[in-house]
Amino acid sequence: MSYVYEGLTTVAVIAHYQGLAPIELTTLECPVRLSDAGAGRVRIELQQYLQGSKAANLLRMVLPDGTWCRGQ
């Protein structure tokens, strides 16, 4: 399978709820694979377990070129 991106990126695991301050834990240089999932979507394959809040409901990823994506 060809990937849109394969390599290291910055990934943030975030618990964000209305009326509460967000809880965010960022992992630098996390190995990932991104593949096209159609209609402006990507499939994210993480190569390691990410630490973060058990109530996390948001993932944000920033690629080395500054491109970013997020999902709930």
How many domains does the chain contain in total? 1
**Residue 3 or 44, more confident:** 44
Contact between residue 53 and residue 13 where contact means Cβ atoms under 8 Å apart: yes
Q: What is the pLDDT of residue 40?
A: 79
Q: Which residue range(s) make up the domain with 34?
A: 5-71
- For the segment 27-50, what is each residue's pLDDT rounded down to a tens digit? 999 999 999 888 878 889 998 888
Quick one: pLDDT at residue 1?
A: 56
Q: Give the predicted TM-score (pTM) of the model.
A: 0.83
- pLDDT for 2 equals 66
pLDDT band (50, 70, 90) for residue 52: confident
